[in-house]
Structures are given as C-alpha cells and as structure tokens.
A = this chain, B = another copy of it.
C-alpha cells in the first residue's frame, strides 16, 4: 500500500512528496544513484528509461531519456549540488521539452524502524512553473514511478539479493 502524500500549498513555489519504503535507506539511496537501478524503476511503466548520464557527486550531471511505445523521446537533465550517501541528494532538474525552466530538487532519506521515509522537495523558479507541473499530471506519474521503485526494492532488497 502506498502512503504517498503530495503537498503543494496554493501561491507557493514548492511541491513536497513523501513516501515510505520497506527497505533500509542505503538501498533506497542506491536505487536513486545507480544507473542500472534507475533504469528499472524511473518513469512510467509503458516507457523505457535510458540513463544517459548519472554522476551522483557534487558537480556531476545526470540525463535521462524516457522513450514511449511509439518511440517518442523526452529528455531530462540537471546537475548535482550534493550527493551524501545515504542521506540526501540535492540537484537541479530541467525537462528538455520546456528549456530554461529549472527546479531545485532535494531528496532526503530517513530511516524509521527499518523502513525509509523519502521526502522529495521541488522548488520552482515561479509559482506558474510549479502550477504547470501539477497540471501536467505529475502526481499520477510520480505515484506510478514510486510504485515501481517499491517493487524494485521488494525484489532486490531481500536477503536473497
């Protein structure tokens, strides 16, 4: 069962998503920073994610391409301000379909009784950009992607790994 929550107060610049996972935070952090892991859960089920670059260190850059069944590709990229295993990732995010619109994403991992609470805070350059992201169906996309992460962790995080 997903406990995902999305908070986006009217008239502000941020979106905060929280969700817990049944895995230690080392494994959740690794799922966000290992190219082979990201490929398996990031994005929509019907799409394929190509990890072009994923250099989780200050000044490192990342670029993912999501390719849908028709072969249409959407690119996303940014740079890492911080990557502190297994606690925190601070990076920028730009959807290449809307060039010049950038957000700052802070993802933190807190362990509570063997589970990991993930908090993903995005702050946008404008309230309009934030509202546009909400209207784009971002919430259902994030829910699907985080469900896939949950399944990925359930498969890989067990003692048989």
Contact = CB atoms under 8 A, between A and B. Distances in A.
Contacts of A14: 13, 125-126
Q: How many copies does the complex hold?
A: 2
Contacts of A61: 58-59
A13 B11 contact: no
Interface of A, secondary structure class, is: strand
Interface of A: 11-14, 58-61, 78-82, 88, 90, 92, 94, 100, 102-104, 106, 121, 123-127
Contact of A79 (B12, B81, B103): B81
Contacts of A126: 14
In the A-B complex, the 10 residue pairs with the closest CB atoms: A13-B13, A104-B104, A81-B92, A59-B61, A123-B123, A79-B79, A59-B79, A79-B81, A90-B102, A13-B123
